[in-house]
Structure 1
Amino acid sequence: MNQKRKAAERRGRLGETAAALWLNLQGWSIVARRVRTHAGEVDLIARRGRTTLFVEVKTRATRAELDLAIDQHRLSRVAAAATMLAPRFARPGDDLRVDVILLAPWSLPRHIRNAWIG
């Protein structure tokens, strides 16, 4: 793995940790991290009450770059993975959501709730 890719991987892992802490502060419990399926990967899975979140985390160097960090293709992969993972992580009757958390240095996380409505 080249240096640029290693730095991006490290930044992504730090972002996932920051997003998990952000969700914890909001009362969510993290039940899984970096869960892979053949359809895609979910960065974080969290629960609070009767809701299970499947979260895509994007970390960028600047706040301006966050506007281009997520697109419908990426969200559709997360939603497909969430559909596959729901029987494993959600309880019967839970509301399921696909959320996105966008992170950049020196700014609060941008939490997009119900990012995928499919």
Structure 2
Amino acid sequence: MSGARSYHAGLAAEDAVARLYETNGAQVLERRWRGTAGEVDLILEQGGTVVFVEVKQSRDTGTAALHLTDRQAARIYAAAEEFLATRPGGLLTETRIDVALVDGQGNITIIENAIAG
């Protein structure tokens, strides 16, 4: 997949994942939030919990899952800590880090608490 096509497919996947979370009562706080540690695709609030979501898109969910490296997981965790430092509850805020896998047909699989510190 070309760079531009891949970029736009990623944006479409993020939009679809955000809509799914919103359907389930979440509020989008940030999209593509960038701190010094890196970027988080989606940051939502759902039932008092701040949810950080890494979106991975590929032709199938298995391949999409393989795109998440240990280095990326560490970056997401560090960026999440950085974001939480801006919140009133700081690092005591209830949180989780999910991974959303999107296949080529637009099917979404959410893995809650996929990344633990």
Structures share a fold, TM > 0.5? yes
Q: TM-score, normalised by structure 1?
A: 0.87
8 Å Cα contact 2:61/2:109 also seen in 1: no
Partner of 1:116: 115
Q: TM-score, normalised by structure 2?
A: 0.88
Which consecutive unaligned segments of at least 5 residues does structure 2 have?
Answer: none
Q: Per-residue displacement from partner, 1:88-112 (whole Å, max 9, x unpaired)? A: 2x44253111111010133531111
- Aligned residue identity for 2:23: L
CA RMSD of aligned residues (A): 1.7
Partner of 1:101: 100
8 Å Cα contact 1:32/1:44 also seen in 2: yes
**Identity of matched residues, %:** 30
- Aligned residue identity for 1:40: G
Deviates more, 1:43-52 or 1:102-111: 102-111
Partner of 1:67: 65
Q: Confirm or deny that 1:87 pairs with 2:99.
A: no
